[in-house]
Amino acid sequence: MPGIIPGVLTGAFRFVPGHNCLFRILLSAILFVSCKPTTTKDTGALAEAFVDLPVFDRPVDSLLTPEARALLINLNKLKSKGILFGQQDATLTGVDWKFPENKSDVKELTGAHPALYGWEIGGAGKEDNIDSIPFQLIRQRMIEAFDRGGINTVSWHLNNPVTGGTAWDVTPALSKILPDSILSDFYKSELQKIAGFFLSLKNAQGNYVPVIFRPFHENNGNWFWWGKGRCSPADYINLWRFTVSYLRDSLHVHNLIYAYSTDMFENEQQYLERYPGNEWADILGCENYWDFQSGSSVSNGVAQLKMLVNMATVRKKIAALTECGFSGIPVKNWWTQFLLKSIREDSLARNISYLMVWRNANRKNYYTPFAGHKSAPDFIAFERDTFTIFEKDLIGIYSLKNNAE
């Protein structure tokens, strides 16, 4: 979430997730990603099954739903072929609108929805989330995105368990919700609420919506109650592992891909200080609003992505720029010359699988342009670039095509 520190044109095909994926089959797969007029994006063949892989290759959840399993595999196969573009609350709010159906500022400008959608589930169990958006509507938009072939990612700004204040209330709390601690039952009840939401994400065909779950993010910053200086690295790691195991093993939620994500970092040691371990994360992410806003600091942002990709590659994980952006986009060529060019032209940084900007709340707080905005032409060029992937470029992201078929 921003504000804490200083900061592809194809045919009309849409992918609807298949309903006959087998669970533990040997996979020989091809991800079909549609092409813009100038190129074809071929992710190649896959001939591995998770069940036969070493522990570092396996997903956190060995019982992943078929669609979630396919998504994880296909994101991995997209490395260096292109970057998926995402936005928080893209089909919920815009600069001049709120809650209409099948609308996003991105689509209004480019003709294509984002490939990836961010959502917030802080406040689960209540009618609205912490941003005053009804959970019923969030659920609907997530299912719609899934049915169109888009990807969903979720953050969770849980209120401070001790005070009841917001996630930004840094009163020490984390150690009190660990197993056998005074508020452990309270924390379990919060996990039961989000599990209920995740398990309610079913489309008309009865398929669970895969979700990239990104809890307790920006943990190396000091602005959340789970952040650096607010809890020990060991307690943070214990909380992460308990969260995953309770959701997966006790509550039987199997449509989640787990993303570990920090804020900006200086070196691998700092990034890994609170890393829960290779068996507990599928995606290694970082969030960086500041470095990509200025030409003088872009190199710092690229350097972090290079370290991130290196760490993910060694661990056979997916790397992602889980949050970034420039509020108001005051630089007219920011999309192509600052963000895209710097990442695409670096042989390591280009291996991130996706990036996501923050929401468009109104004309004073927005992260993608609209008609008449000075960066609108550049954003259209950004969408048309052969290296960016938007929703209508995704064909078969939830499918693994067996050669025997």
Known catalytic residues are 218, 323
Please state the length of the chain: 405
Residue 199 CB neighbours (<10 A)? 14
**For residue 94, what are its two tokens?**
């815009």
- 80's CB contacts (< 8 A; 6+ apart) are 350, 351
The answer to whether 176 and 122 have CB atoms below 8 angstroms apart is: no
CA 194 to CA 207: how far, in whole Å? 18
Q: Give the three-class secondary structure for 238.
A: helix
Residue 273 CB neighbours (<10 A)? 15
Please give the angle made by the CA atoms of 46, 153 and 312, to the nearest 5 degrees.
Answer: 50
**For residue 104, what are its two tokens?**
């996003």
Please give the angle made by the CA atoms of 55, 58 and 63, to the nearest 5 degrees.
Answer: 120
> What are the φ/ψ torsions at residue 303 (nearest 5 degrees)?
-60, -40
The answer to whether 146 and 17 have CB atoms below 8 angstroms apart is: yes
Q: Give the three-class secondary structure for 284.
A: strand
> What are the φ/ψ torsions at residue 137 (nearest 5 degrees)?
-75, -40
Residue in 150, 88, 85, 86 with CA at minimum distance from that of residue 365: 88
Indicate the residue type of 376: A
Residue 359 CB neighbours (<10 A)? 23
**For residue 275, what are its two tokens?**
């890393």
* 75 phi-psi bin (left φ>0, alpha ψ -120 to 50, beta other): alpha
**For residue 11, what are its two tokens?**
């045919």
Beta-bridge partner residues of 202: 208
Q: Give the three-class secondary structure for 152.
A: strand
